[in-house]
Amino acid sequence: GDSVTQMEGPVTLSEEAFLTINCTYTATGYPSLFWYVQYPGEGLQLLLKATKADDKGSNKGFEATYRKETTSFHLEKGSVQVSDSAVYFCALSALNRDDKIIFGKGTRLHILP
């Protein structure tokens, strides 16, 4: 079945460091891919998405490119801030009728000032 694998955390970085969180997927067909973020005490928020191969999703300085050849959707940010500390979830959806989204297990990110 479809699945998402993302790097385990926690990831700890200093402010202004470069961030990469790896995500790979297994799916039949051409799913849409997402990154969600969960700040402490809150629900998940959609951070960015890409719906087809070579699409780049971007938001708040974060980027991820849909790589069909490597089945990957790695999240990157050039200069992280303390306020980026959160849990990040990679996810996919086959956009079938039921619209289910399959999530990775999440990566906790700590940014030190």
- Binds another protein (CB under 8 A): choice among 21, 62, 80, 106: 106
Which residues, numbered 42-61, are part of the site for another protein (CB under 8 A)?
A: 42-46, 49, 51
**In contact, 64 and 75? CB cutoff 8 Å:** yes
Shortest spacing between CB 96 and another protein, in angstroms: 10
Residue 2 vs 17, nearer CB to another protein:
2
Query: Considering the rule CB under 8 A, would residue 95 count as an interface residue with another protein?
Result: yes
Residue entry with tokens 């989204």: 101
Residue 102 vs 111, nearer CB to another protein:
102
Shortest spacing between CB 78 and another protein, in angstroms: 25
The dihedral through the CA atoms of 25, 92, 29, 100 has a sign that is positive
Interface contacts to another protein, rule CB under 8 A: 32, 34, 36, 41-46, 49, 51, 89, 93, 95, 97-101, 103-106
